[in-house]
A and B are shown apart, each in its own frame.
Chain A
Amino acid sequence: MTRRWFPVAFRRRVFSSGGISVLKFHYWDILFLLKNPVSNHSSCSTMSKRKCGEQQLAVGECVSQVQRVLRERFCHQRLPHKPVGLESQYKHLLELLRRTAVHGESNSVLIVGPRGSGKTMLLRCALRELLELQEVKKNVLQVHLSGLLQTDDRIALREITRQLQLENVVGDKVFGSFAENLVFLLDALKKGDKSSSRPVFFILEEFDLFAHHKNQTLLYNLLDVSQSAQAPVAVVGLTCRLDVLELLEKRVKSRFSHRQIHLLSSLSFRQYQDVFRSELTLQDDFPDSKFSQEWNLSISKLCEDKSVDEILQKHYNSCKDFRSLHSLLLLAVSRVSVSNPTLRAVDLLEASRISSADSKGNILHGLSILELCLIIAMKHLNDIYEGEPFNFQMVHNEFKKFLQRKSHSIHNFEKPVVFKAFEHLLQLELIRPVDGGVCKVQREYQLMRLMLDHTQVMEALQRYPQCPTDVKQWAVSAFG
């Protein structure tokens, strides 16, 4: 009965394709056809895709999977199984924390290392391994503070009270004034004792910023607790400053145990290459085994490439830490797409070019000819007067001299236009007022300095698209 109102064209198509079986056509099938009016051709292709999907994914799917896996590695700072090249430091830290957790011994330690050397990673790995112990897991309280967030003791104290869930906390709100909170926390810690109360790990990131707090009250109190018979605590500071102990007041310093764990990597280039390889290699748990094999093969081929070696060497020379390597690799991996599903040396070269580009050079690249002329005039002034500051008038005169000599009418701009260009340079901070720009001098006469090096100007001129020859010559000529 429903068939009656089918359009004629449709009925005809069903009849023609179905042949004899059309008489047995079921009501549901027609409904399906109505909902998904697919042509013969496309239904066939979905069939074939479903068939091959048992073994491997489509290329696009694989590429997006690879990007997801690698992005997680490079951006999200995923913890490795074991810290690379830091075995002795790791052992020291783990042992120290374990003794606080198990024996209730109070300790204090500083982890010192340059930025990107894996301080937080080391600590997190140690905590992860420690918390796997059943004995420790239920017995430890952790307080994480950061010098960037807890900018003064008042905030830090509230945060400590909140994270410890002391009794003056309701929900996430801490009651009482600063002074009351301090007394409350100290009383709580004082009541605890070595064998029966739960040990507390105080983890202070950006430790050096805590040393700038007023009187260093927080540090004094935490370290004092670690040196007296109260609740067991471990104070772990993380900082990148080598002179951090000199920031501490004498009485605070005396209470600190002077244990420092230095993360100074003496990584060789060989190891750096190995890290490069292992960071890009896909693990066995990748869904498509064929693709991951191909990928790993291409990576090991990449590692043997001479030009890749050169790029890595350059990066290794400038900075040994893994964070800069990660940012390089991230740039390279983001160029992987369906049309080129493997990582090529060209990608790496391009990434390296982007990451080591001179930022000021790029700004110069986007200036107008007039602004470039002004920069050249300033450069000449710098050469003649040996770096003395200049003002707009001097630059304008220099520019006019150029116009008179080379006298093309193209560059012959009105003074207000030139001044506008000058202001633009000021806004780009390619030039800087000498006295911070607060003086009452008229703007044309304000003294300025050029914030560019000689080499930057010359290089930018080389790369400038369609730079007029006379401007180039003027820039090269020794004295204006």
Chain B
Amino acid sequence: TPRHATPSIPSRSLPARKPGNVLEEARARLHVSSVPESLPCREQEFQDIYNFVESKIMDGTGGCMYISGVPGTGKTATVHEVIRSLQQAADQDEIPPFRFIEINGMKMTDPHQAYVQILQKLTDQKVTADHASALLEKRFSTPAPKKETTVLLVDELDLLWTRKQNVMYNLFDWPTRRHARLVVLTIANTMDLPERIMINRVASRLGLTRMSFQPYTFKQLQQIITSRLNRVKAFEEDALQLVSRKVAALSGDARRCLDICRRATEICEHSGQKGAIGLVGMSHVMEALDEMFSSSYITAIRCASLQEQLFLRAVIAEFRRLGLEEATFQQVFVQHQALCRVEGLQPVSVSESLAVCQRLGACRLLLLEPSRLDLLLRVRLNLSQDDVLYALKAD
């Protein structure tokens, strides 16, 4: 059995191609993975976290901090940047050296794996979860000379929740020990997580050092994109503004913003003639926005076959008759057959109608009960009646 296998992906025979033109260059820069050296628009948060961690390292004490914010607001990136600059400071002997360890709640199969991963990153030992917890307990509660401070980043904290909450409890309890010298930075999405899911003794140990990342405003998003592009002239000014305003209005997620810009460069590349590559303009951005934000239900209804459209009509007719938002298949079938007669088509059989109903249910235009209920299964619309009527009428 391979005990000491080294994890690696095989390498390619010839290296990847470098970006060839302006748009490809811009696309490479706009990819979410190319995190810039310093994050724009997060200076205040950076300073706060920096001060907190630096003071703990200088004093040789421990502490906890809770960072929250919706996805895509730069939480993890900011913390990484803080650690990077602290490491630089430690290299230049401005502050004592420290160790940095990172775990992510989503990247483990079970909350107790947190112990295993922490211990493995600290000492390179591979042990079971129970044993790891005992070893860590010992390590953090016994005094040792020349012990360096450990900075632990816990991402996706809410997944470390267990019924007894012992993982969370331990993570927040260790920093309070006298000899631990442990700084725990925790990241999660919801602001009120400590009050909502933690029992009192856990929440009180987490303490009150909290920070929340606000969603980006449109100015900030614009600044992020311009700083990423960094003098590569690929976008029109108005186009950037449109993207940032649209994303800021919806979620303030920087990832979304970058993805849309990237898609817009692709659209621009395909729409232009060969050789001549223009700037990404309003029309390209509009198309990308439409592609990513518009709901496809309406198009799906328009592209559906005649019987499927008739079935949707029958559903609405039956809802109108009943005055409810729900009907059994049998009721809809009666309407469906009547509509077929009105349209001058051959009347459908129950099997055919049921097949049509199932097809609509499979792509979630309808919400259905399991099909073994046959005639008695209840049918609901997954979108509003107005949308269905709009889609059916337009052609």
Task: Mark contacts of A94-118 with chain B using CB atoms, 8 A cut-off: 1 yes-contact digit, 0 otherwise.
Answer: 0100000011111000001111000
Q: How far, in whole Å, are A115 and B8 apart by their CA atoms in the complex?
A: 37
Check A250–B303 contact: CB distance below 8 A: no
Residue A139 at the B interface, CB < 8 A?
yes
Residue A191 at the B interface, CB < 8 A?
yes
Check A197–B9 contact: CB distance below 8 A: yes
Check B31–A106 contact: CB distance below 8 A: yes
Check A115–B359 contact: CB distance below 8 A: yes
Residue A365 at the B interface, CB < 8 A?
no
Of A186, A191, A231, A453, which one neighbours B107 at CB under 8 angstroms? Answer: A186
Of B110, B337, B359, B375, which one neighbours A451 at CB under 8 angstroms? Answer: B375
Check A358–B292 contact: CB distance below 8 A: no
Task: Mark contacts of B300-317 with chain A using CB atoms, 8 A cut-off: 1 yes-contact digit, 0 otherwise.
Answer: 101111111000000000
A139-B14, A240-B363, A360-B350 known; A250+B375 contact, CB < 8 A: no
Interface residues of A in 220-261 (CB under 8 A from B): 220-221, 224, 227-232, 240-243, 250-251, 253-255, 257-260
Check B305–A168 contact: CB distance below 8 A: no
Check B307–A318 contact: CB distance below 8 A: yes
Of A231, A258, A317, which one neighbours B9 at CB under 8 angstroms? Answer: A231
Residue A83 at the B interface, CB < 8 A?
no
Interface residues of A in 153-187 (CB under 8 A from B): 153-154, 164, 166-170, 175, 178-179, 182-187
In this complex, what residue of A is CB-closest to B331?
A387
Q: For chains A and B in complex, what number of residue pairs have CB atoms within 8 angstroms?
A: 223
Check A198–B10 contact: CB distance below 8 A: yes
Check A167–B9 contact: CB distance below 8 A: no
Check A451–B376 contact: CB distance below 8 A: yes
In this complex, what residue of B is CB-closest to A434?
B376
Check A220–B106 contact: CB distance below 8 A: yes
Q: How far, in whole Å, are A468 and B246 apart by their CA atoms in the complex?
A: 72
A251-B189, A316-B305, A317-B305 known; A166+B300 contact, CB < 8 A: no
Check B72–A221 contact: CB distance below 8 A: no
Check A361–B349 contact: CB distance below 8 A: yes
Residue B173 at the A interface, CB < 8 A?
no
Residue B40 at the A interface, CB < 8 A?
no
Residue A314 at the B interface, CB < 8 A?
yes
User: Which of A135, A153, A185, A242: most chain B CB closer than 10 A?
Assistant: A242
Count of B interface residues, CB-CB < 8 Å: 82
Nearest CB in chain A: distance from B303 CB, A = 4
Residue B326 at the A interface, CB < 8 A?
no
Q: Which residues of A contact B253 (CB under 8 A)?
A: 254
Q: Which residues of B contact A115 (CB under 8 A)?
A: 359, 362-363
Nearest CB in chain B: distance from A406 CB, A = 29
Q: How far, in whole Å, are A182 and B117 apart by their CA atoms in the complex?
A: 12
Residue B365 at the A interface, CB < 8 A?
yes
Residue A421 at the B interface, CB < 8 A?
no
Q: How far, in whole Å, are A378 and B9 apart by their CA atoms in the complex?
A: 67
Check A192–B350 contact: CB distance below 8 A: no
Residue A215 at the B interface, CB < 8 A?
yes
Q: Which residues of B contact A232 (CB under 8 A)?
A: 16
Segment of B146-154, B219-227, B255-263 engaged in the interface with chain A: B255-263
Check B375–A258 contact: CB distance below 8 A: no
Q: Which residues of A contact B109 (CB under 8 A)?
A: 153-154, 178-179, 182, 217
Q: Which residues of A contact B54 (CB under 8 A)?
A: none
Of A106, A167, A358, which one neighbours B2 at CB under 8 angstroms? Answer: A167
In this complex, what residue of B is CB-closest to A314?
B346
In this complex, what residue of A is CB-closest to B15?
A195
A251-B189, A259-B292 known; A139+B31 contact, CB < 8 A: no
User: Which of A115, A166, A257: most chain B CB closer than 10 A?
Assistant: A257
Check A188–B364 contact: CB distance below 8 A: no
Task: Mark contacts of B315-357 with chain A using CB atoms, 8 A cut-off: 1 yes-contact digit, 0 otherwise.
Answer: 0000000000000001001100100000001101111100110
Of B8, B32, B306, which one neighbours A227 at CB under 8 angstroms? Answer: B32
Q: How far, in whole Å, are A154 and B110 apart by their CA atoms in the complex?
A: 12
Nearest CB in chain A: distance from B228 CB, A = 14
Residue B266 at the A interface, CB < 8 A?
yes
Check A453–B350 contact: CB distance below 8 A: yes
Q: How far, in whole Å, are A120 and B349 apart by their CA atoms in the complex?
A: 31
Nearest CB in chain A: distance from B182 CB, A = 22
Check A260–B296 contact: CB distance below 8 A: yes
Q: Which residues of B contact A135 (CB under 8 A)?
A: 14
Check A242–B297 contact: CB distance below 8 A: yes
Segment of A46-54, A71-79, A262-270, A293-301 engaged in the interface with chain B: A262-270
Interface residues of A in 54-101 (CB under 8 A from B): 91, 95
Residue B90 at the A interface, CB < 8 A?
no
Of A103, A197, A224, A319, which one neighbours B305 at CB under 8 angstroms? Answer: A319
Q: Which residues of A contact B116 (CB under 8 A)?
A: 179
Interface residues of B in 264-319 (CB under 8 A from A): 266, 270, 291-293, 296-297, 299-300, 302-308
Q: How far, in whole Å, are A197 and B106 apart by their CA atoms in the complex?
A: 25
A250-B71, A357-B351 known; A138+B13 contact, CB < 8 A: yes
Task: Mark contacts of B143-177 with chain A using CB atoms, 8 A cut-off: 1 yes-contact digit, 0 otherwise.
Answer: 00000000000001001000000000000000000
Of A105, A166, A231, which one neighbours B31 at CB under 8 angstroms? Answer: A105
Q: How far, in whole Å, are A138 and B11 apart by their CA atoms in the complex?
A: 10
A-B contact pairs, 5 of them (CB 8 A): A95-B270, A192-B9, A232-B16, A257-B262, A319-B356
Task: Give me the interface of B with A, judged by CB distance under 8 Å.
Answer: 1-2, 5-17, 19, 24, 27-28, 31-35, 70-72, 106-110, 113, 116-117, 156, 159, 189, 253, 255-256, 259, 262-263, 266, 270, 291-293, 296-297, 299-300, 302-308, 330, 333-334, 337, 345-346, 348-352, 355-356, 359, 362-365, 374-376, 382
Q: Which 6 A-B pairs have the closest CB atoms?
A: A254-B71, A167-B5, A188-B7, A104-B16, A358-B349, A187-B7
Task: Give me the interface of A with B, judged by CB distance under 8 Å.
Answer: 91, 95, 102-106, 112-115, 135, 138-139, 141, 153-154, 164, 166-170, 175, 178-179, 182-189, 191-192, 194-200, 215, 217, 220-221, 224, 227-232, 240-243, 250-251, 253-255, 257-260, 262, 264-266, 314, 316-320, 356-361, 429, 432, 449, 451-453, 455-456
With A95-B266, A167-B2, A264-B302 already in contact, 14 other A-B pairs whose C-beta atoms are closer than 8 Å:
A102-B16, A102-B17, A103-B16, A164-B9, A182-B108, A187-B7, A195-B16, A264-B303, A317-B305, A317-B345, A318-B355, A320-B304, A356-B351, A451-B374
